[in-house]
Amino acid sequence: MTWCDVCAETGASTVAIGQTMSQEGKIIMTWCEQHAGTKPLRPDRKRQLASMMVLERARLGISLSSLARKIEVPKQQLSLWEQGIGLNMTSFLRWCDALGVKASVMLERAGL
């Protein structure tokens, strides 16, 4: 079962009914009936959010390696997320959960 990325941001668990795919065939985001047609973050906004993620991790004094272990992803993958590459709402929420920060606060700080 896959969850709606948009609903997950608010803590809701709504089953996704569709996916937005990249040209390479990768899932960019998943959505429920209510959020059908929601656009994924634009590349410039992804970079903006990613830079806030790096600042927040540094503020908390957590290394890339230790956070990667906590999220259970390779360090290289986490590094890519923090550059805005491959970052989607699901990966962002995993990152927030592992650091104990609210997604809404991070999005607000990034001006999104």
Q: What is the mean pLDDT of residues 79-96?
A: 84
Q: pLDDT tens for residues 10-59? A: 566 777 777 777 667 777 677 777 767 666 555 567 778 888 888 999 99
Asked if the model's pLDDT at residue 66 lies above 90, the reply is yes
Evaluate if pTM is beyond 0.85: no
Torsion of CA 7, 111, 97, 70, to 10 degrees: 130
- What tokens were used for 91? 């990966």
Cβ-proximal residues to 44 (8 Å cutoff; 6+ apart), any chain:
none
Q: pLDDT tens for residues 8-17? A: 765 667 777 7
* Structure confidence at residue 51 (pLDDT): 86
> What confidence tier does 68 reach under pLDDT thresholds 50, 70, 90?
very high
Which single residue is written with the structure tokens 């592992």? Answer: 98
Which domains does the chain possess?
1-40 (no CATH), 41-112 (1.10.260.40)
Alpha helices by DSSP H, listed for 1-112, are: 5-9, 43-60, 64-71, 75-81, 89-99, 103-109
Interatomic CA distance for residues 112 and 100, integer angstroms: 19
* Structure confidence at residue 37 (pLDDT): 65
